[in-house]
Structure 1
Amino acid sequence: MRRPERAARRWNLLAAGLAVAGTCLGAGWWAARPAPGFGQLPAAAPAAVTVAPTPSATPSAAPPVAAPVVGRRLATPTVAPRPPAPVRLEVPSLGVDAEVVPVGVRGDGAMEVPDDPRRVGWYRWGPVPGAAGNSVLAGHVDTRSAGDGALADLAAVEPGALVRVTGADGATREFRVTARVAVDKEELPLADVFARQGPARLVLVTCGGPFDRAASRYEQNVVVTAE
Structure 2
Amino acid sequence: MAAQQPSDTESASPALGRSLLWPAVAVGLGFLLVYNSFDASAGVPPPVAAVAPTRAPASSPAAASPAPVPSPSPSVESYGLSRSEPERIRIKKIAVDAPFTPLAIGPSGRLDAPPVNDRNLAGWFKDGATPGERGTSVVAGHVDTMTGPAVFLLLGTLKPGNKVSITREDGIVTVFKVDSVETFSKANFPDERVYADNGTAQLRLITCGGEYDKKAKDYKDNVVVFAHLAGVRPA
User: TM-score normalised by the shorter chain: which range applies?
Assistant: 0.5 to 0.7
Q: Which deviations, in whole Å up to 9, do the C-alpha atoms of 1:184-210 show, x marking residues without a partner?
A: 112222333332442111100001111
Given that residues 99 and 120 in structure 2 are in contact (C-alpha distance below 8 angstroms), is that contact kept between their aligned partners in structure 1? yes
Letter in 1 for 2:87: V
TM superposition shift of 1:148: 0.8
Letter in 2 for 1:110: R
Q: How does 1:5-154 map to 2 (within 5 A)?
A: 6-7=18-19, 9=21, 11-13=23-25, 16-18=28-30, 80-81=64-65, 82-115=82-115, 116-144=118-146, 146-154=147-155
Q: Which has the larger displacement, 191-200 or 133-142?
A: 191-200
SS in 2 for 1:13: strand
Q: Which has the bigger relative contact order, CA under 8 A and spacing at least 6?
A: 2
Q: Which has the higher strand share?
A: 2
> Structure 1's 77 and 153: CA in aligned 2 closer, same or farther, altered over 3 A?
closer
Aligned residues: 168
SS in 1 for 2:192: helix
Bigger Rg, structure 1 or 2: 1
Given that residues 91 and 163 in structure 1 are in contact (C-alpha distance below 8 angstroms), is that contact kept between their aligned partners in structure 2? yes
Q: Which deviations, in whole Å up to 9, do the C-alpha atoms of 1:133-159 show, x marking residues without a partner?
A: 110000001112x21110010010111
Structure 2 gap segments, 5+ residues each: 1-14, 32-58, 66-81, 229-235
Report the identity percentage. 33
Structure 1 gap segments, 5+ residues each: 20-75
TM-score, with structure 1 as normaliser = 0.66
TM superposition shift of 1:96: 0.6
Q: Which deviations, in whole Å up to 9, do the C-alpha atoms of 1:52-83 show, x marking residues without a partner?
A: xxxxxxxxxxxxxxxxxxxxxxxx99761433
TM-score, with structure 2 as normaliser = 0.64
Taking only aligned residues, the RMSD between alpha carbons, in angstroms, comes to 2.7
Question: Which residue in the other structure is 1:214 paired with?
Answer: 215
